[in-house]
């Protein structure tokens, strides 16, 4: 899924040679700056841009998930140890504007220290 969005953004903005629009779209979709400059954007082929953008965004995605794990694991552990009647826990996750509740099994989250995430796979296209 991440690769698909990267691919769409690269295709849309490279075709128009719109570096500024590309940078704004990256901020809007991924809250990140471009991993390459204007010269790279104009000189690299589409596949290279897709791959580099995906690697950049995916690295940030994993770092954010690790940060969430570090913050939520102590709470999960505390609930597991002190509130034994619960099987699942709702963990609020926010982007600063919206908050969603992620429901997870307490025992499984404790076993993997809250680090198990469904990482998206890279789609080989572009």
Domain assignment of residue 124, yes or no: no
Structural domain count of the chain: 1
Domain assignment of residue 119, yes or no: no
Please return the burial class of 87, using the count of CB atoms within 10 Å of its CB with bins 0-12, 13-18 and 19+. exposed
Query: pLDDT tens for residues 65-108?
Result: 888 888 888 888 888 888 878 888 888 877 778 888 888 888 88
3-state secondary structure 2-47: HHHHHHHHHHHHHHCCCHHHHHHHHHHHHCCCCCCCHHHHHHCCHH
Domain assignment of residue 120, yes or no: no
| pLDDT value of position 118 | 42
Domain assignment of residue 17, yes or no: yes
Domain assignment of residue 96, yes or no: yes
- Band of the pLDDT at 116, cuts 50, 70, 90? low
Report how far apart, in Å, the C-alpha atoms of 77 and of each of 54, 73, 83 are. 33, 6, 10
Domain assignment of residue 25, yes or no: yes
| pLDDT value of position 93 | 78
Query: pLDDT tens for residues 27-56?
Result: 999 999 999 999 999 999 999 999 999 999
Domain assignment of residue 19, yes or no: yes
| pLDDT value of position 21 | 96
For 26, the domain range is: 2-111
Residue 124 has pLDDT above 90, yes or no: no
| pLDDT value of position 123 | 44
Domain assignment of residue 79, yes or no: yes
């Amino acid at each position: 899924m991440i690769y698909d969005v990267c691919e769409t953004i690269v295709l849309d903005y490279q075709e128009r040679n719109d570096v500024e629009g590309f940078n704004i779209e990256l901020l809007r979709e991924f809250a990140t700056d471009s991993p390459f400059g204007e010269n790279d954007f104009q000189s690299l082929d589409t596949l290279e841009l897709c791959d580099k953008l995906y690697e950049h965004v995916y690295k940030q995605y994993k770092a954010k998930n690790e940060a969430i794990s570090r913050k939520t694991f102590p709470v999960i552990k505390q609930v597991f140890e002190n509130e034994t009647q619960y099987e699942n826990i709702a963990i609020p996750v926010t982007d600063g504007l919206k908050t969603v509740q992620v429901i997870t099994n307490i025992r499984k989250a404790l076993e993997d220290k809250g680090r198990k995430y469904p990482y998206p796979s890279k789609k080989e296209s572009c």
